[in-house]
Structure 1
Amino acid sequence: ECVIEDGTIAYKNWVKTGTEVYRQFWIFDVQNPEEVMINSTKLKVKQRGPYTYRVRYLAKENLTQNSDNTISFVQPNGAIFERRLSVGTENDSFTVLNLAVAAAPILYPNSFVQMVLNSFIKKSHSSMFQVRTLKELLWGYKDPFLSLVPYPIDTTVGVFYPYNNTVDGVYKVYNGKDDISKVAIIDTYKDKKSIYAEFEHEVNLKGIPVYRFVLPSKAFASPTVNPDNDCFCTEKIISKNCTSAGVLDISTCKDRKPVYISLPHFLHASPDVPEPIEGLNPNEEEHRTYLDVEPITGFTLQFAKRLQVNILVKPVKKIDTLSKLKRNYLIPILWLNETGTIGDEKAEMFRKQVTGKISLLGLVEMVLLTVGIVTFVASMIAYCVCRSKKVK
């Protein structure tokens, strides 16, 4: 019943999870935009949140059983705002980095092109920073600067644009048919090996013993410490020639846009990474990523995925709003916490069908072992008594 195959209990609960999954956002509201643009001072930010959305409520699609005992699928994206779990509404406004202005000179390094872009930026009254609502920042808005560019480009900008009516994947996971210990483990994501977690300790989750796995600090370490991260070090300046830790360059996954991911508040980062930013308070318990995995079935019964989205901004002489910067800034935009925990009803079913039976099996083993020991001891005593009488 634990194999991910049509007809099993595992398959039914895996295709569409019965657990509610929430994604919380904390936005970094910039407090001193003018000082940064004019004097290149330290960036002061204030975290605001959480703003909560329900996600992963749609069933997996394009399910395909493969010959290597894996199953492939895509996860449809969807987000429903949960006002009762949020500090405000989707119309709350924030002072944040202007995503289009920051990315333009990196995408187009040619000086002449930058001069042309600068004229569009000025004409649209755009700047290094802007005021946007939560809904605009996350899901997209028509950018006034890009709207003036006389080329057929998508003028909508957003951290997670496009999202609704899109899919995530392709995922490829083991179905457990040949090895039940590998069931539900991700083999590849978009044909690439996924990031890993390491065992920390055992946890009791609603009466179910689970193993807690955490995202280790070396997953964000510099290539000098973890050579596996060498492919993430493409920006030699912010990484101090690839000796700094805590940030991964994912620009190649984002059409060369200068997007970098880290743990929230630059947890586990080298001191030089958050140095130009004030208002960050990294905390291991609040900002780490973990998975609670039930060891018999391999199912994740509780998790917290925490990541921060950052954008690189460089001084650019040809663009007025960026010309007075004297340093590079890795500006945090937001961090997210995507969580899910097995519900009480599902937990009760799990205890009855899995852990309860395993506990019963353990009890039967102890009884049989005790009976066996008693029988063995009694037999040895009887043997010794009989032998003693025979000798006499």
Structure 2
Amino acid sequence: MNFEHSEKVKALIAKLETFMDEHIYPNEEAHHDWVVDPANLWKPWPKIEELKALARKEDLWNLFLPHEYGAWSPGLTNLEYAPLAEIMGRAPWSSEVFNCAAPDTGNMEVLAKYGSPEQQQQWLKPLLAGEIRSAYVMTEPQVASSDATNIELTILRDGDDYVLNGRKWWISGVMDPRCSLLLVMGKTLLDNPRHRQHSTIIVPANTPGVTIVRNLTVFGSKNSPGGEAEMRFENVRVPAGNLILGEGRGFEIAQGRLGPGRIHHCMRSIGQAQRALEIMARRVENRVAFGKKLSDQGSIRQDVAKSFCEIEMARLLTFKAADQMDHFGNVVAKDLIAAIKVVAPQMAQTVTDRAIQAHGGMGVSDDTVVAGFFTLNRFLRLADGPDEVHMSQLGKQKIREYNAMNAR
């Protein structure tokens, strides 16, 4: 494995860092003030489209989409994208500026990989252009949705249509008025084997019968403009041509979608941890307590050292997982993807917690970005599957694998 960045990636890193310095960091305060103002609830920040246009002009656009998607992709591998996603992660809202924000990224990958030409023309092209937003509708309140085979919303054929009935929750991005597309997972073939019962279908967000029941807050935040929501589907009727790939292929699509999505989250988490560490280092060097700088305290130096070690370990594991995805595919790399999904958010939560402590009361305020990084990574330990599920499956696989080996 060679993790030395190519000249192409080094050039993209330099260009992206310049863009962040000129357009993202100077706008962080204005963006924050907009999204927390109740008067702006569910309204996108007005300047976002201007920044998107600038990013597209600089060819810093759709960088997430791997090279195997041909004409749809800018040509990067997962490994090449990793340092770029890390830089974007330093200001989490900036991913949208580069059209690299979840859940749109995963939905674009689904449509690029599995969508029909008609579906790609109608939905993938405007997503790739950043003209619309989307949501992935899987999780349900009444079942343990970390096992996707538990999903109960029904998608049943009726003539030339499919009819959807059921409840969903923790649906990210659906509160955004620009959200035009829902990719909905539900049960179609009720008598099939467990992993062949489900389907994924395209539902335009304004389809009759689709109801947003309520916004679900995260640590007290509404996360405007996208938010997280509980939804209800009551006799929602869509054309049969909206089904993706075919009946019974929903679990397959979900597994194909969630692998890249998980590692993208981890790449961004590493960026947040790295920035929190840098902020912490500057704070302790410039803050005096009990007659000496905090940076002279042995415990503070240990916290900085441990944080550096933990970030480097997580970064290397991310690179290794991305490299395996590029060379052998997401299925072969699933153990490493699971491992980094457990490691990276927990690492970022731990590092940001140390940075909060070093700031004292300021650390839990919005005077720095650190408190937001902490809550985001605590949330990520549940998103795309909780830590316990990933560890259970990973442990089961490793026990099987090691018992199949010759004892030495």
Fold in common (TM above 0.5):
no
Higher relative CO (Cα under 8 Å, sequence separation at least 6) belongs to 1
Whose strand fraction is larger, Structure 1's or Structure 2's?
A: 1
TM-score (norm 1): 0.24
1 or 2, which has the higher helix percentage? 2
Q: TM-score w.r.t. structure 2 length?
A: 0.23
Structure with higher Rg: it is 1
